[in-house]
Structure 1
Amino acid sequence: MEDLSSWKEKFETCVYAKKLLDNIEYLNAKVKNPVDIEEVKKGIYYARKYHGLQMRQSGDPYYSHPIEVAIMLAEFVAEEAPKLYNAIMLQAALLHDTIEDTELTEEVITTIFGPEVAKHVEGLIRIKLYGKISSEESLNLLVRQKRYYSINQVL
């Protein structure tokens, strides 16, 4: 396996990543607990790396989809549930299609991002086994999962 910090040297921005990162910087200025931008960049890097040359029907690179999901999630959570606004949820949004559509495994996600991110990604996959879900449904599931896990950690 590659050195886990080598992604920083290889990270390249693109129009999609820039949109997310600019959005995070804007939202970070409005919330009490800003998101670690380096952790978001790590999620972007691995989403792009593993989705590689996959394309959407629109002709856009496939990784643009998880980045758009992360943008919607960031905006929604920062406004509606700011305590849940964190890098873990954004990383899960960025990786939500990787296990089923790429060679990335839950074990590798756990190694790179930690068990909580892997748990959220895996949870989305189990739900999607019953059929494709929209970006909005993915966003709502991530928020519900995080609320559930946050409540259970307090109890």
Structure 2
Amino acid sequence: MLAFLNCEHINKLLDKLDLINHSVDKRINLDKVKKAIFYVKKYHGNQKRDTGEPYYMHPLEVALMVADYSFKTDTIITAILHDTIEDTTLTKEKIAIEFNDNIAEQVLALTRNRGGKKTSSMKMIQTLVNQDKVELLLIKLLDRLDNIKTVFIKPAKRR
């Protein structure tokens, strides 16, 4: 598993979380975070972003931004896994077994494609606001922010 952790984005995230662990009372479980990183790299595999970079770098960037606002292990892991149910073969059930039910439910809540229907980002954001799911709203908004950084690469129809 350690070979999966050798990447600048991963090191940046783990260094930040380690720094947080030394400056706040509530500690982030780095072993669980490393396990989530392993899973995101394994399941996103060879998927690429429109920029050509490995897809897994996107959820790591989202988690890095989330760590500025939340010091909860489950929230950081949810940020790392946020696209796995939607874009890979990883299931809610497998996430529940490997992590916990809370993380599995949170990742599912951030999944736009369910049962053949795709929810718009705006509708999902409104739902999260209405349900007062602040941490999931944070993940979704930072997900959108990271996607906006590369929108210029997408064809005009997909922007």
Is the shorter-chain TM-score for this pair beyond 0.5, marking a shared fold?
Answer: yes
The one-letter code matched in structure 2 to 1:67 is L
Distance in 2 between residues matched to 1:9 and 1:54, nearest whole Å: 21
Q: How do 1:135-146 and structure 2 match up within 5 A?
A: 143=135
Q: How do 1:105-144 and structure 2 match up within 5 A?
A: 105-126=91-112, 129-132=118-121, 143=135
1:63 CA displacement = 0.2
Percent identical residues: 38
Aligned to 2:141: none
Which structure 1 residue ranges, 5 or more long, are not aligned? 1-7, 78-84, 147-155
Q: Does 1:70 align with 2:50?
A: no
| TM-score scaled by length of structure 2 | 0.71
Provide Cα deviations, 1:37-72, integer angstroms capped at 9, x if missing partner. 111101111000000000111111000000011111
Aligned to 1:4: none
1:26 CA displacement = 1.3
Structure having the larger proportion of residues in helix: 1
Which structure 2 residue ranges, 5 or more long, are not aligned? 139-159
The one-letter code matched in structure 2 to 1:57 is D
Distance in 2 between residues matched to 1:144 and 1:65, nearest whole Å: 16
Equivalenced residue count is: 129
Q: How do 1:4-153 and structure 2 match up within 5 A?
A: 8=1, 11-77=4-70, 85-126=71-112, 129-132=118-121, 143=135
Distance in 1 between residues matched to 2:109 and 2:5, nearest whole Å: 29
Let me know the Cα RMSD of the aligned residues. Answer: 2.8
